[in-house]
Amino acid sequence: MGMSPGPRFDREAWLRAALKVLTQDGQAKLNVEKIAADLGVTKGSFYHHFRNRGDFVGSIVDFWADEFTSKPIKMLKASRRSPAGRLLQIMEAVNEGGLNLYDAAFRSWAAQDPSVAEVVRQVDIARHRTINDLFAGMGFEGDELRERTRIWLVFHSAQSTVHIPEDAAVTKETIMHRFRFFTGLDPDLLDLNSDQIPTS
């Protein structure tokens, strides 16, 4: 059976395939022919979804920003959980959904392309605002608020890129332990659907 251009809904398949190439080989290897071969389609599929390579590259960056930052933030805003509950919710989403999987690749790309750098900057601003608001909603302020937010963001962005010898798989208990570390709170003592924070 020969290769076909593919239906319209395969646009996301092109973008996800591009993210894989970007992570493994870097932006210089975002080759349309190679990605088409990987997907088992012709170049006609590419032009069915994108005007040209520039449109494709812009779509990759926008897809990353939307799928791995904007959508998770919208999910949090729609959540009825407390700030502590939402922080735990996004920690679970980072782990289960690989929300940080492509961060290193995009930061590397941003160092060479100002337009990508601007998108990365906007992603960082949105993430910072969201996590800062959650910690503030939990009662942190001043230096405590600022440093917890910074450390949380740096850790969750970089954890998939730093090799830790004998690193164990992340489990639900691992996430709970990290939650205790970042907040100083015991999730077992919290009503994650309530804004109330225990004082002792």
Residue 101 and residue 169 in one domain: yes
pLDDT above 90 for 177: yes
115 and 151 co-located in one domain: yes
- Domain tally, the chain: 2
Both tokens of 146, joined, read 């600022």
State the Cα–Cα distance between residues 40 and 3, nearest whole angstrom: 6
Average pLDDT for the chain: 87
- Residue 45 lies in domain: 1-50
Residue 190: per-residue pLDDT: 74
Tell me how far apart the 2 most distant CA atoms of the chain are, in Å: 68
Please tell me whether residues 46 and 67 are part of one structural domain.
no
Q: Which residue has the higher pLDDT, 61 or 40?
A: 61
Instruction: Report CA-CA distances (Å) from 199 to 111, 129, 136, 139, 148.
Output: 44, 25, 16, 11, 19
**Quick one: 173 exposed, middle or buried, by C-beta within 10 A (0-12, 13-18, 19+)?**
exposed
pLDDT grade for 199, boundaries at 50, 70 and 90: very low
Q: What is the CATH number of the domain that holds 32?
A: 1.10.10
Instruction: Inform me whether the pLDDT recorded for 95 exceeds 50.
Output: yes
33 and 129 in a single domain? The answer is: no
- State which of 21-30, 104-113, 124-133 shows the largest mean pLDDT: 124-133
For the stretch 125-176, pLDDT in tens is 999 999 999 999 999 999 999 999 999 999 999 887 777 776 678 889 999 9
Does some domain include residue 197? no
